Amino acid sequence: MIATTTDDVDLVQVVLLDWITIPFVLAGLVAWWRRPESRVGPLMIAGGFASGLSALQLTHVEALITVGAVFDILPAAFFLHVCLAFPDGRLRSRLEQVLVVVLYSAAIGLQVAKIALGSFGTNNLIALGSWPSAAADVQHVQLLTISATCMAVPSFSSTVAGTRAAFAGTLSSC
């Protein structure tokens, strides 16, 4: 395991990341095997690997730190994408598509901006300097955007929840 090759890496943090990554990937494999026509399984697998890749930021290799830092918030976007796309793996409305685009834009685009501003230190390949105040401002916008999107989904989803619940009940009986 790359992340545990140094003495100053918090092993608890690595174990927690593995605790999230492995079940998500395994559940995605089972979902894909049971319902190969659904895109939920591959989405879950991708989300699990994104979570695992975020652990690379715990290393001391600049390229790996950069990759890990870019993937840091991405699992949250994958998780919500899976929730919106359940049960067939497809987004059914323009609003769902917009919400997912906003999530991935905040998770990746604003993350790269944060890294460039030195949020993860200057020992990565994207850092242009160290501007902690600007990086903190970008992080606030990023987290507020993701939080607002996550809060919008339940209110939107409640209008179609009956249809999805009925469909999910049909799937579980198969």
Question: What value does the mean pLDDT take over residues 36-46?
Answer: 92
pLDDT tops 60 at residue 167: no
pLDDT on residue 121: 81
Tell me which residue of 146, 139, 147 sits closest to 117, measured CA to CA: 139
What are the residue boundaries of the structural domains of the chain, listed by start? 2-159
pLDDT tops 60 at residue 1: no
Show Cβ contacts of residue 42 under 8 Å, excluding neighbours closer than 6 positions.
28, 32, 89
Rounded (10°) angle between helices 74-85 and 40-54: 170
pLDDT on residue 174: 45
**123 vs 25, higher pLDDT:** 25
Alpha carbon distance 142, 54 (integer Å): 17
**41 vs 171, higher pLDDT:** 41
pLDDT on residue 19: 81
- Express each pLDDT in 95-141 by its tens digit: 899 999 999 999 999 999 999 999 888 778 898 989 999 999 999 99
Q: Residue 33 carries which side chain, given as an amino acid letter?
A: W
pLDDT on residue 58: 83
**136 vs 168, higher pLDDT:** 136
Mean pLDDT for the chain?
83
pLDDT on residue 4: 46
Tell me which residue of 107, 121, 130 sits closest to 50, measured CA to CA: 107
